[in-house]
Amino acid sequence: MKRSAWPLLGLMFSVVIFGVTGCDDHQERYEDPPWLGGSSIETLESRGNYTIFLKLMDRADYTDPISKQLFTLFVPDDAAFEEYFASAGISSVDDLSDDEARQLFTLHVLRNPRSRFYLIYEYAWSELQTPKAEYASLFHRKETPSTSIPYKETVRYLPGSEGKEYLIYTGNKNIPLFSQEFFYDYGGAADGSDYTFMYPGSTWEAGYPEGMEGLNWHNAMVIPNPQIPEELEVRTASGFIYFLDRPVPPMPSIEEYMIANQDKYGLYYDLLQRFADYTGQKVDEDRNVLYRKTYDLVYDLAEERASSTNTAVPAQNMWAAFLAKDDVLQAYLDETVFEFYSSIDSIPRVTLYYIVQTQLSRELVLKSKLTKGYFNAFGDETDLTPEDLNSGYMCSNGVVYDTKKVLEPNVFITVPGILFFDKDYSTLLSIMNQSNMLSTLSNPDSDVTLFATTNEDLETYGIRYNETSDKVEFRGPVDGVWSAMKSSDMVLFAQDQIFQGVLSDFEGDGHYVLMTSGNHIKYGNMMAGAGENQATGQLANVDEIDVNEYNGLLVKVDKPIASRIVMGQRLTCAPQDPECAFADPDFSQFAELLVDTRLLDNRYRDPTTKEFIPRLKFLAAADYWTAFIPNNAAMDQARLEGLIPEDNDSLKNFLLYHFVIDNVLFDDGKESGTFSTNYTYVDTLEQVTVREVLIIHNEPQNMVLEDVTGQLIPVDHADANLLVRQGVMHEINSVLKFTE
């Protein structure tokens, strides 16, 4: 059974106090247990073969703290140090600078004494992590005082800082502690094969007595306690000692590892530098200005805590980087982006982002777990297998796997893939990215149809991408000035181009479908369009249909799907708008009544675009509407017959009865039945508010309305199906009667 240090230290304290304050007859005191020994330093001195560690401790200025405080030490013997020094090309501790000695020594020390149990089950969130606790042994990283020695770096791509030389400092190194318990709790290989793949040349449970569970401090195996072979910890009067089979060398982060291996991963590192930033400026004692390197958008491989950003708890997660060597990555780029782009500098940043980020994971990935599947940084299921890994190398903040191939995100192989590689569609790519629509388009289990317009055609319409500001811009329809597109407008525009499913029969007479935006389009005869396309007579011509093997269609069109026209613009014009481009003059009498009853605001002006946009106030009550608008001839006849109420409330009810709520109905014969209108009344028997209904008899190109009086009104197909945002409008030749 493993024993805690705290009862032991309490016993020691009691013994010391008793020795100082005992009776004069010096009653016999209890002797220290034979395994306890003196302090940690005294224990190492008495064993005789740890002189190099003690000398390194002195060079690092840690002898005094360790002699006076409680520590946990991880100690290689002299032979292990000599072997390490020989491999590093030095002869002794004397060959190390003070900074190097401090960096090396502090990789072997933890503040506070920890038995094996408390080393593995880290205290966090005011809970003791036990074998049955939620996190169990998963808080496996231990913060040390060690940091990298500041190093110089020349900034490559950060705007305004290119070519400058910065002195870089890092955070504290978090040593990964790998135990058999960790591999069990994390679902890895209990035989240590995951460990030895990440640490080639290291050992796992070598020479352990039967039944003893493995424990490794980074690359070094913890050696069983020679005095108590069934235990790994060595208790001392000032803490714990764990003997190691080798020293822990200076630990590079993944960032530093890539810097040191430019011959293998220089191309990936160069791509990564497009996302580098330099923050945390400070001045050291020699008045040198130092910077903390970070990364924007992509996972921050320079962050020593990795993705464990909550500093209130121990670092847990580690990065994993799947890096293909330069020749493999170059071949991949040649086959994809370089078919359309002449250089890396011309590739859209979002494309580079997906290439870089797809090779990374915010969690430690173990080789053995790849047999169960692997999901990349974007949540895409991949075909990565253990056989795709050449080798592994564990850094201070994660593992680097050398891979046989470049990992691809789903966005590259599904419907939106061509947007990333074809420079003619880079504006639409930026729109989809900034609108967060790429995940919608790239799910291989969900079919989509995307209408794709080239940069040139989008700019002709009035949308472009400003590379300098990384903004999608919209040309004001009134002043012609380009300005950043509102995020809500950009999302709606992006969704107008997306249909959830696979459209068919583009050569047919025409079909109406609901887009992701909630607006409808009509497509057929190799054309497509929403309300604005229809109102301006600028339907999008279908140039090409690319069938994606995973999830749908990319439909190349010469104009974007445009839905900016609202119902109010089809009804009337603002008094200040002499052009009045979209209103149907044959709706003027009905529209005038809507204005008089204040159901229609014909003076509204968009604060951003400066357009006058008449708007029906009640449309906000629902997402979908169908309007049946009597033409002027119908209104003249209704006045002759006395069908238009004179009092304001009845007039409102008359008007509202011409609007069907929560449905968009076309004369395509698909929907018939009883539908609720926007006219409400109080049922005197039930004392509840109910909506009056309208019955619709619908056959292809032959819709007939039946109002509450039983009157039948046909809808002329030539005057039907005017698309607008949130719905559709139909012209009718008679008014609807809303009451008997």
Whether the predicted pLDDT of 535 surpasses 60: yes
Rg from Cα positions in the chain? 37
Mean pLDDT, residues 410-437 taken together: 96
- Whether the per-residue pLDDT at 273 is higher than 50: the answer is yes
Average pLDDT over residues 560-580: 90
Domain ranges of the chain: 146-218+252-408, 438-557, 567-732
| 333-367 confidence digits (pLDDT tens) | 999 999 999 999 999 999 999 999 999 999 999 99
DSSP string, 143-197: E-S--PPPEEEE--SSTTTTT-EEEEE----EEEEEEHHHHHHHT--TTSHHHHH
- The confidence band for 36, taking pLDDT boundaries of 50, 70 and 90, is low
Burial of 195 (0-12, 13-18, 19+ CB in 10 A): buried
- Residue predicted with more confidence, 364 or 35: 364
| CATH label, 146-218+252-408, candidates 3.10.20.30, 1.10.10.350, 3.40.50.300, 2.30.180.10 | 2.30.180.10
- What is d(CA 549, CA 414) in angstroms, rounded to the nearest whole number? 8
pLDDT at 20 over 70: no
Q: In sequence order, what are the residues at sequence separation of 6 or more whose Cβ sits closer than 8 angstroms to the Cβ of residue 47?
A: none
Using a 10 angstrom Cβ sphere, with 0-12 exposed, 13-18 middle and 19 or more buried, the burial of residue 285 is exposed
Pair 707, 694: CB distance under 8 Å:
yes
Whether 115 and 233 have beta carbons less than 8 Å apart is answered as yes
Tens digit of each residue's pLDDT (9 = 90 or more) over 108-159: 999 999 999 999 998 877 677 788 888 889 999 999 999 999 999 999 999 9
In this structure, the number of other CB atoms found within 10 A of the CB of residue 174 comes to: 23
What topology is assigned to 567-732 in CATH? FAS1 domain (2.30.180)
pLDDT tens per residue, range 664-688: 999 999 999 999 999 999 987 878 9
Question: What pLDDT score was predicted for residue 389?
Answer: 98
Q: What is the mean pLDDT of residues 479-501?
A: 96
- Is the confidence at residue 449, as pLDDT, over 60? yes
pLDDT at 15: 38
Measured between alpha carbons, how far is 176 from 356 in angstroms, rounded to an integer?
25
Given this model, what pLDDT does residue 313 score? 86
pLDDT value of residue 27: 41
Other CB atoms within 10 Å distance of the CB of residue 222: 22
Q: 283 pLDDT exceeds 70?
A: yes
Helix boundaries (H) for 178-290: 180-186, 193-198, 254-260, 262-272
Q: What is the pLDDT of residue 529?
A: 98
pLDDT score for 33: 58
Give residue 32's pLDDT band: very low, low, confident or very high (50, 70, 90).
low
Whether 6 shows a pLDDT value over 70: the answer reads no
Q: Are 507 and 490 in contact (CB under 8 A)?
A: no
Q: Return all residues near 550 (Cβ < 8 A) that are at least 6 apart.
A: 410, 413, 414, 415, 444
Predicted TM-score (pTM) of the model is 0.88
Q: What is the mean pLDDT of the chain?
A: 92
What one-character DSSP code corresponds to residue 573? Answer: -
438-557: CATH architecture: Roll (2.30)
Give residue 239's pLDDT band: very low, low, confident or very high (50, 70, 90): very high
**Per-residue pLDDT, 34:** 55
Name the residue type at position 375: F
| Domains 438-557 and 567-732 in one fold | yes
Confidence grade of residue 13 (pLDDT, cut at 50, 70, 90): very low
pLDDT value at residue 31:
54
pLDDT tens-digit map of 200-218: 999 999 989 988 999 999 9
Name the token pair of 310. Answer: 């909550």
What's the pLDDT band for 415 if we cut at 50, 70, 90? very high
The band of 577, judged by pLDDT with boundaries at 50, 70 and 90, is confident
Q: Is the pLDDT of residue 630 over 80?
A: yes
705: enclosing H helix or E strand: strand 702-706
Name the least confident of 52-56, 165-169, 281-285, 714-718: 281-285
Q: What percent of the chain has pLDDT over 90?
A: 85
The pLDDT-based confidence of 9 (bands split at 50, 70, 90) is: very low
| Residue 599: C-alpha distances to residues 15, 569, 626 (Å) | 91, 14, 16
